[in-house]
Amino acid sequence: MPDKLIAIAGTTFALARRNGDIIGGVEGLYTRDARFISRWRLTVDGRTPRLLTSHHVDAFSNLCFLASEETDALPPNALSIARRRVVGEGMEEEIEIECHSDTELGFEVRLEVGADFLDLFEVKAEEFTESADQVFAGGGHRQVTAVAPHDGVAVEFAHRDGRFSAAMQLRCDPAPDAVEGSVLAWRVKLSRHRAWRLKLKVGLRLGEEVLAPTHALGDFGAGVAALRGGRDAGVVVPQLRTSWDKLYQAYRRSIHDLDALLISDPGLPYALPAAGLPWFMTVFGRDTLITSYQLLPGGLPLAWGALETLARLQATEVDDDKDAQPGRIVHELRRGPVAVNGRQFPYYGSIDAPMLFLVLLSEAYRWSADDAAARALRPAAEAILGWMEAYGDLDGDGFIEYLRHSPKGLESQSWKDSWDAIRFHDGRIAQPPIATCEVQGYAYDGLRRCAELARGPWNDGELAARLDGRAKALYERFNEAYWSDARGGFYHLALDAEKSPVDSITSNLGHLLWSGIVPRERAGAVAAQLMGPDLFSGWGIRTMSSADSGFNPIGYHLGTVWPHDNSLAMAGLRRYGFYEEANRIWVAMMDAAAAFNDHRLPEAFAGFDQAAAPFPVEYPTASSPQAWAAGAVLLMLRSALGAEPDLATRSVRVDPHLPAHVHFLRLGGCVAFGRKFDIEVTEGTAEVTETHSPAA
């Protein structure tokens, strides 16, 4: 959201105008999926101050510089105004006004405050002209009341909606000279070079819980560049030095964003990355699993924490309201009025999260050799393996299909989860049950990886043999049913309810390479499709080929470019030895990052050809920052280095293939097997040095 001033800490975030005001639309102060402040407007002598500049200082701190407008009482630029804001389970703001006039000035400062306590779903519905009735699951009657000033509280709003209740209190220092409803006023006199300061403190309550602020004005600008919050969870971020400045800047931005997105949900044992701001500031199973995979090996404790947390949330019974079946991995958690008043959350309508759980479990083990952790999570993995047969395969054809049961559930339950994402070449929308191609790749990879675990820490040769057999059968069925020799050779996007192949060409091909389900003899055709002009825009691989009738460069999953999607495609190309093609993606992504604000890769951007758009075009509702977009930078770096774990020697091996212009790259402090390793590549020559071994 490039036009907004953003501050974020855990599940709390503020979206404001560049001048610091909160006036309308999606703007507000949010925590745990509810908007606590919907209006926060500053005026000086009846006029909105003029913006000079504003920026985030760190993830949770904003700074705005303003100047007063001319009024009857104020000459032009008579006052400079600084607004310093921090958020974190509440908000604090300091407004400092300095006089630059030769004569004493008298003026009025006013602050308009409002609270609507809307659920995030309601805000999104109102902003994008959907019907709020269709998305709001609450059953209560909305009540928002203003409470008279009391006990040092200048403004208080209380709210009840069915079983959901909340309140917001504002304390001011100095106290206002007048309070008219929810408008506060201060009468100020200042002489030259004198300053007046106002401190504002917003306290929040959810139910009976008074939220303890995580940041105060004393923390302003104190955020660190590394994964500060993640370090408590054991995340170690390697330090990057490189001659490629675009990579360095994108890597640094990604670390900042991952830091900001780490949330500690009150019901969960570990801090996990929220999916993205503003709509997805909560745990999403698919996003958590892919982001955790992208952060390996440095993020091993985060990966194990994610796996343990998702195992605790694993469904144990059939619940159609939540699209839940035994063994299924949660898709989405929510804490706002919709979740409290409805029956839909936690929601399990994600067809791929179960298999991605198996992939991450295996990968975390490969980088750690942690037998105890792998054994502890075996019951969760076996529940998924059982779900794949009993519930994932709806018709017994050996493929994993999705079909929603909840009337409010997702119609499309693959990663391309917009309702119109699965389209035929002629533009028709496929009808469920639907078996998308990449889900079969995840299933194949998950089966093979679990067979490896069964031969290793699980010590169950019989299970390993059964899983190998299931994987082999799926591999053969898939390559017979999904492959087409048409259009140069490609895999169909999906099979629909009639088992008709959905014949559009999409970025899902890259996920197939990542999973390893593509035979070597077909990999060249797949790589050619991915890097051909219909899919590759010059800024990255588009979600759908421009030669398909459903293509739309600003359609959410119909032609946009997604960084996480490209990171998996790059890893897949690297797996099959297409180094030049992989580097084209990497260079394109870093060029795109350099063109965006602060070198931040957003959730997605438009799929216009680079020849038509010499800069990447923003997608209007993309989350930014977003966890798996930030994580994409780390996975692409690891893929280019060819960094892989060696279980036998408890070491890291590399096979770097870097772009020709990258003369030097050093990744220091990579953690694997309880050891630290430095990876250095100079003019194509690689060296891996162990810098720390575990205590004997």
Residue 696 has pLDDT above 50, yes or no: no
Please identify which residue in the block is written with the tokens 């703001």.
93
Contact 314, 337 (CB under 8 A): no
Question: What average pLDDT is seen over the chain?
Answer: 91
Contact 652, 232 (CB under 8 A): no
The pLDDT score that the predictor gives to residue 392 is 97
Identify the CA nearest to 216 among candidates 206, 202, 231. Answer: 202
Where, residue-wise, is CATH 2.70.98.40 in the chain? 5-219
> Distance (Å, rounded) from C-alpha 531 to C-alpha 534?
8
Convert the pLDDT of each residue in 211-247 to its tens digit: 999 889 998 888 644 334 333 444 557 899 999 999 9
Name the pLDDT band for 55 (thresholds 50, 70, 90): confident
> Distance (Å, rounded) from C-alpha 304 to C-alpha 271?
11
Burial of 133 (0-12, 13-18, 19+ CB in 10 A): exposed
Task: Name every residue whose Cβ is closer than 8 Å to that of residue 5 and which is 6 or more positions away in sequence.
Answer: 14, 15, 16, 17, 18, 20, 54, 55, 56, 62, 64
Contact 666, 643 (CB under 8 A): no
Q: Which of 31-45, 71-85, 101-115, 334-348 has the lowest mean pLDDT?
A: 334-348
Name the pLDDT band for 271 (thresholds 50, 70, 90): confident
Contact 269, 254 (CB under 8 A): no
Alpha helices in 535-578 (DSSP H): 563-575
Where, residue-wise, is CATH 1.50.10.10 in the chain? 228-627
The pLDDT score that the predictor gives to residue 141 is 44
Task: Name every residue whose Cβ is closer than 8 Å to that of residue 621 and which is 6 or more positions away in sequence.
Answer: 128, 279
* Architecture label for domain 228-627: Alpha/alpha barrel (1.50)
Convert the pLDDT of each residue in 489-532 to its tens digit: 999 999 999 999 999 999 999 999 999 999 999 999 999 999 99
Q: What's the chain's Rg over C-alpha atoms? A: 26
Convert the pLDDT of each residue in 587-620 to its tens digit: 999 999 999 988 999 999 999 999 988 899 999 8
> Distance (Å, rounded) from C-alpha 530 to C-alpha 383?
35
Contact 355, 443 (CB under 8 A): yes
Q: Which two tokens stand for residue 334?
A: 């929510």
- What does the CA dihedral 2, 61, 285, 126 come to, rounded to 10 degrees? -50
Q: Which amino acid is at 176?
A: P
Higher per-residue confidence, 163 vs 46: 46
- Does domain 5-219 match CATH 2.20.25.90? no
> Distance (Å, rounded) from C-alpha 643 to C-alpha 654?
4
> Distance (Å, rounded) from C-alpha 301 to C-alpha 180?
52
Contact 182, 167 (CB under 8 A): no
The pLDDT score that the predictor gives to residue 451 is 98
**For 233, how many CA atoms within 13 A lie in the half-sphere containing its CB?**
30
Name the pLDDT band for 129 (thresholds 50, 70, 90): very low
Per DSSP, what are the bridge partners of residue 40? 22, 113
Per DSSP, what are the bridge partners of residue 22? 40
Q: Which two tokens stand for residue 210?
A: 């008074």
SS3 label, residue 320: helix
Contact 206, 84 (CB under 8 A): no
Identify the CA nearest to 652 among candidates 636, 668, 664. Answer: 668
SS3 label, residue 319: strand
SS3 label, residue 305: helix
Q: Which two tokens stand for residue 315?
A: 């469904």
Name the pLDDT band for 137 (thresholds 50, 70, 90): very low
What size, in residues, is the chain?
Answer: 696
Identify the CA nearest to 666 among candidates 297, 243, 294. Answer: 243
13: enclosing H helix or E strand = strand 12-16
Residue 475 has pLDDT above 80, yes or no: yes
